[in-house]
Structure 1
């Protein structure tokens, strides 16, 4: 598999693949950081060009996942690596707690150790479900959403695509979070939050509007 990125979140994804015993032919990709060596942790090769990626996909393994956290950048990288012939692939820690019934998890989603996803939950493609976060029953998460560590989404809540839920956030039941929203760390969301904004506090209130996404 190819992990797109070779810093930060990419190392979290590496740990999931280690837990899954899927390290054979594991490569990373980084074309922006000049301080990156040829091998991550002196072990895993790092590709640096699209040509190298295309050759890897064709000759070795066409699966890829994204080891970068920003939801909008994840979408752009998804588009790029799909165009190079990649197959967007989820990485789900065996130490996560995934319910047994009526769960949908989209391609390319990364679920880390200690995360819990309850029955009848729907998670879109390209999401991140971080350590010790909780997604309870009948919740719906859009595409390329980041759920930060120890966030709690209670029953039947909805989170729109490209949104970022900060660490230790609590979203109460039936609350709807719009698309392209940032919820600040530690906030408690008691009412619906519209698209394209930043909301913080207890209870969470909108403090800033964001430019609507163009894709």
Structure 2
């Protein structure tokens, strides 16, 4: 298995993989770094040729970065090489039997995923986030640690919801939106903007 990325997010991901005993033949990919070993234990590969060779033997890969655009780029590249995306579920995760898309999302430790939620392909629900009833999240969106999405919120694709941000009930957020850490979003947000503050305002 290959982790696509070898930075800070990959460190947290590695802890989950170790707890799940999923480190057999584990390698990391980082084409920008000259370091050859991750955490003094796991090989780092730097070329697409080695990625392709690994995927021929073991087709599975995990997205090891939190950035929505980079997550999608890695997904596209590794899928084009014949790879198959797998996802992780951390410890202490509580999610409803009526959640859809959880198998295609990374959900880190201590998250709460409520009833009739919909999670898009490649999205990341980071540590301690709360996703309440009937929330819809688009593809490759990042929900940062401690963020709270209340009932019937809709978040588009390629968004980044900052740490400890709160999205109030029924608010709709477009695609490619960034919500700053600690912000409280009280009304709908169009595509492609950044929102900060309490209450949230477009900047």
TM-score bucket of the superposed structures, by smaller chain: over 0.9
- Residue aligning to 2:78: 81
Counterpart contact for 1:124–1:144, Cα < 8 Å: yes
Kindly indicate whether the alpha-carbon contact (under 8 Å) linking 1:188 and 1:203 is maintained by their aligned counterparts in 2: yes
Q: 1:137: Cα distance to partner?
A: 0.8
Q: CA deviation at 1:117?
A: 0.7
Residues 105-144 of structure 1 show CA distances to partners (whole Å, capped at 9, x for unaligned) of 252x221101111111111011111111100011000001
TM-score (norm 2): 0.96
Please list every run of 5 or more consecutive structure 2 residues that lacks an aligned counterpart in the other structure.
none
- Matches of 1:112 and 1:40, distance apart in 2: 20
RMSD over aligned Cα atoms: 1.1
Maintained 8 Å contact 1:178/1:193: yes
Are 1:155 and 2:151 matched, yes or no? yes
> 1:210 corresponds to which residue?
none
Which whole-Å CA distance do the structure 1 matches of 2:137 and 2:103 have between them? 10
Contact 1:13 1:110 in 2 (8 A): no
Check whether the contact 2:125–2:143 (CA below 8 A) recurs between aligned residues.
yes
Residue number in structure 2 paired with 1:206: 202
Of 178, 185, 190, the residue aligned with 1:182 is 178
Report the TM-score when normalising by structure 1.
0.91
Q: Distance in 1 between matches of 2:32 and 2:99?
A: 40
The equivalences for 1:56-135 within 5 A come to 56-59=54-57, 61-105=58-102, 107=104, 109-135=105-131
Q: Secondary structure at the match of 2:202?
A: strand
- Aligned-residue offset at 1:161: 0.2
Task: Tell me how far apart the structure 2 counterparts of residues 85 and 14 of structure 1 sit (CA, whole Å).
Answer: 23
Segments of 4+ moved more than 4 angstroms: none
Count of residues in correspondence between the two structures: 203
Match of 2:41 in 1: 43
Deviation at residue 31 of structure 1 after TM alignment: 0.8
Cα distance 1:46–1:127, how it changes in 2: closer, same or farther (>3 A)?
same
- Structure 1 SS opposite 2:189: coil
1:53 counterpart residue number: 51
In structure 2, C-alpha distance between the alignment counterparts of 1:119 and 1:16, rounded to whole Å: 24
SS of residue in 2 equivalent to 1:93 = coil
Check 1:106–1:161 CA distance in 2 against 1; reply closer, same or farther (3 A cut).
Answer: farther
Unaligned ranges ≥5, structure 1: 208-215
